């Protein structure tokens, strides 16, 4: 493992993995449509907004790690 990560910052690699995981998990929540099992439109709106924000957080983390100085 150390040989494959030579030349990379360990936190950059872990941050990238975490950012991609958070974004993919949020997309999986949206695709799975968990709001079909809830009791109201208010809960559905909160779930959709939360999933979209989670995608933004994951993408923002990857952006901060790779495209800022």
Q: How far apart (Å, rounded) are the C-alpha atoms in residues 9 and 28?
A: 29
Per-residue pLDDT of the chain (69 residues; tens, 9 = 90+): 556 656 667 778 888 899 999 999 999 988 887 767 777 888 888 888 999 999 999 999 999 888 876
pTM here is 0.75
Nearest residue to 12 (alpha-carbon basis) of 55, 67, 51, 57: 67
pLDDT at 41: 83
């Amino acid at each position: 493992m150390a040989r494959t990560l030579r030349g990379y910052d360990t936190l950059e690699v872990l941050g990238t993995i975490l950012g991609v995981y958070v974004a993919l998990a949020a997309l999986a929540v949206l695709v799975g449509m968990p709001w079909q099992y809830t009791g109201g439109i208010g809960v559905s709106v909160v779930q959709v907004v939360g999933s979209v924000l989670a995608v933004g957080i994951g993408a923002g983390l990857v952006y901060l790690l790779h495209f800022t100085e």
